[in-house]
Amino acid sequence: MESMLHLAAAEIKEPTTAGWILMIGSVSFVVILVGWCFKRVLTADPPIETDVPAGKGP
């Protein structure tokens, strides 16, 4: 039934404005996220301060 519901809504049509926004937004989000992450990893900023002194951890 669920897929039938989707089929009923699914006709052959161009992406709607919402469709374009969701597609471009989703793809852009993952591209920017992965680019930002790898830039941080490869430029290797010095580690931030730890919350716990060495040897006092859990």
Partner 1 sequence: MSQGKQEWGSRLGVILAVAGSAVGLGNFLRFPGNVAANGGGAFMVPYLLAFLLLGIPIAWAEWTMARYGGAKGFHSAPGVLGVVGRGKVARYFGIIGVLIPLGVYFYYVLIESWCLGYCWEYLKGGIGVPTGADVNAQVAASSAHFAEFTGAATDGALFDFSGATAGVHETSLIFWIITFAVNFFFLYRGLSKGIEAFCKWAMPAMGVAAIIVLVRVLTMDANPQHPDQTITTGLGYMWNPDWEALKNPKTWLAAAGQIFFSLSVGFGVIINYASYLKRKDDVVLSSVTSNATNELFEVGFGGLITIPAAFLFMGLSISAFQDSSFGLGFKTLPVVFANMPGGNFMGAIWFFMLFLAAITSSLSMLQPTLAFLEEALGLNRKVGTFVLLVVGALGNLFVLWHSEGLRALDIIDFWIGTFLIFILATVQIICFGWVWGIEKGIAEAHRGAQLRIPAIFRFIMKYVSPAYLLVIFVLFIGFNVLDRTDDDGNVITGYWSKIWAEDNQVERLALGLISLVAIGLIIATAIGEKRWRAQGLDVDGLKPLDPNVK
Type of residue numbered 35: G
Type of residue numbered 10: A
Which uninterrupted H or E stretch holds 32? helix 17-43
CB of 45 to partner 1, least distance (A): 5
Inter-CA distances, 21 with 15, 32, 55, 57, Å: 9, 16, 50, 46
Residues 15-54 that bind partner 1 (CB under 8 A): 15-16, 18-23, 26-27, 29-31, 33-34, 37-38, 40-42, 44-45, 47-48, 50-52, 54
Sites of contact with partner 1 (CB under 8 A):
1-3, 5-7, 9-16, 18-23, 26-27, 29-31, 33-34, 37-38, 40-42, 44-45, 47-48, 50-52, 54-58
